Amino acid sequence: MLLATVFLALPLLTAATAIVGRGSCDTGPVHCCETAHKVDSEAGKALLREHNLENHPSAHFGSVAQNCDTGLGILDGSTCSGAPVCCESFLGLISIGCIVVHL
């Protein structure tokens, strides 16, 4: 029974590790942000306008996130009470081109 459980759980663990890359992702480090909005939503568009980022190359896909802390270690037991995201561009208080990481 234990062997069957390990056998079934191993592919899930491998897939999770590949997706979050042990606390990072293909686009950069994982950030824990207060908010994340899709760039084509009203809130996302307003945030991009507010920071004059409508024409930034990374502002045309994914999400825009605000008030992010860097270096969240997804697999080391850290928690994120906001939105854990991987972002193409981290610009201080704003991150753009983000993908939400589902924990």
**Of the ranges 6-10, 15-19, 72-76, the best mean pLDDT one:** 72-76
Measure CA 14 to chain center: 19
- In the 8-state DSSP scheme, what is residue 52? T
pLDDT value of position 9: 37
Considering only CA atoms, which of 40, 58, 43 is closest in space to residue 95?
58
Q: 48, 65 in Cβ contact below 8 A?
A: no
- Is residue 1's pLDDT more than 80? no
pTM for the model: 0.66
Comparing 28-42, 45-59, 78-92, the range with the smallest average pLDDT is 78-92
pLDDT value of position 62: 93
